[in-house]
Every structure is written in structure tokens, then in C-alpha cells.
Structure 1
Amino acid sequence: MISIGSIFAVLIAAFIGYFGFKENQHVQAATRSTPTFFFHGYGSSYRAEQNMTAAIRRAGVTNTIVRINVSRTGKATLIGRIPRGTRNPLVEVNFADNRLSGTSGSYVNAYYTTGARYVRNAINAVTKRYGYRTINAVSHSMGNLEYYTQPGGNHDAPTMSRIINHYGKELFK
């Protein structure tokens, strides 16, 4: 029996492969393809993303998976490297404060402050180091809200090319 997670991973691989290939047809050889960030949900970690990213690698869409660890203070540390010429790199994002428990006040306000800062720091750690101007994102549950609550108006922020949101089993009902 095929699991919902496997189906989701294959859909993501097809999505990244198709649009990565289509986008690369129009890009000069000196530039890189678009990285895809994976944001986990409440109480989770990058481990929840590993089956999806591994399936995408096995499908031949990419050969590079790196991780960004974001500490409780918001410091983003890159684990691994993206070699020059990498096709469709995948970035597993791991939040140490995966329940936003280190914040005071309402939990919703924590998304708009702490959670958004975690996401911004993770994206900046990769885009500034490697010069990416466009990114993709796959987000689950809490990762969705955190991504969307990033403050706008930052002209140095990368452009979002594609995004896949997943809220759990209800997506497939």
C-alpha cells in the first residue's frame, strides 16, 4: 500500500523537476537553479522532511540536500554546502524552538515575531551565501504561517517562485 507521504513526496519531486527544468531552459549556464526550502510544522523537526527530500533525490531531481539549523536565539547555521552547478538544491529547515515556547505573549503573536524571524534568517543564510534571488518553499502546518508572516518591503529578499502548502491529512479528503 502506498502511503500519503509517499504520494506527496512524488508530487513534490514532479513539481520541482518540471518547473526546475522549465526554468533552467531560460537561464544562462552561469546561473544556478532555484533552491527549495522545506519548513516543518509545530513540534516537528527536519526529520519529518527527510523522507520527502530523499524521495526527490532518488527521483533524480536533485543531488544536493543541506540543512539549516535555526537556534532558539534565531541564529541560522548551514549544515552542508551547495556545490557550484547544483541542480535544484533542497534545504531542510530545522527550528530548535519548534513550538515557539521561548516567546512571551500570545502564541499567534509569536508567529508574527519569532517564527517569522526564524524563517527569514534561514532563507537569508542560504540566499546571501550563494546569491540566490529566487526560491521555492514546501511548508507544513506551522511552517505555512511562519513563512507568510515575514515582514514585507525588504528589497533584498529573494522572490518566491513556487510554494506548496500542506496542512495534513485533510489535504487529501
Structure 2
Amino acid sequence: MAEGAENVDERHGEDRAVEPEGERLGRRIEFLFRYVQPLGRRYTLQEVVDGIRDAARPGDSRISVGRLWTLLKGRAGNPTIGTLRALGDFFGVPHAYFIDDEVADRVAAQLELIAAMRANDVRSVALRAAAVATMSARGVDTVRSLVERSAMLEAEAEAGEEGTGRPDPPGPVV
């Protein structure tokens, strides 16, 4: 084992004993860019700056694309509390994420879990789509009928009606 290896935080790739604060902050911001992706893709720097600007109240901190880039690359030290608040609010993480190692570890674990669940859901949908793609026309019609019937039963239940899941008995033959 290499000397000092016990100080390495695998989740953020940081050596807390040696790493300068600016680099640690940059890694944490990069982690947010990588894992907070509600648009299904990584935010651009401009989107983050615009989001912070749009959410700002009078007197709140603003940030430029250039400043955000220097923070992200670990080249800027000592950001203001307002800047950290704005970034935390935008990405939906506690403000302490940027300065408290325990909070950063908890947030990272949560974001990684969400990403894994999202990836699993995507795989599940893809597997289902692949199964449907190999079905016969009759099989696809059966699945469609089941889905439609399920939707009808849910609508009946929401309307306060009691659906049995069985078709109505046939009426008298005329």
C-alpha cells in the first residue's frame, strides 16, 4: 500500500491531506455536473449561470461563466459564501457540501444511488422494448389489450367505481 493512501477519498478522487482547497472544490463541482442531470445530459456552464441568475433575488450573488469555469477547474480559491450558496441551490445540494467532507460524502452516495437507479430503469425499459420488438403481432395486441384494460381499471378505481377486472356479462341476445 502506498504511503498516504489511507487519505484518498475514492468517491471524489481526493487526497484530503495534500489537495489544495481550490482543487477539492473543483472536484466537488465537477461531481455535481456529472451526477445532477435532470435534462438527461450534463449542464453547460451557461445553463448553470443562467439558472443561478434566474433564481437570484436582489442582493444575491451572481456568477459568470468564466468564474464558474475557474472554480470547476480548481483554479480559483476562496469563493464567497454567496457563490457556494448559489451553486448549492442550483444543484439542489446542501451548502455544506462544498466545505464539509462528511456532508460531501453523504451527498455523493445519494447522487450515485440515484444515478444507478436511473441507469437500471433505462436498462429495464430497453429490455422490455427489446422483448416487445421480438413478439408476434398477436403478442403485441395482447400486451396492448392488457395495458388498455389496466388503464380502464385504474380510471374506474379513481372514479370510485369498483372494477372487477372481468368483462361485463353478456346481455340478452336479441
TM-score by length of 1: 0.24
Pick the structure with more helix per residue. 2
TM-score by length of 2: 0.24
Pick the structure with more strand per residue. 1
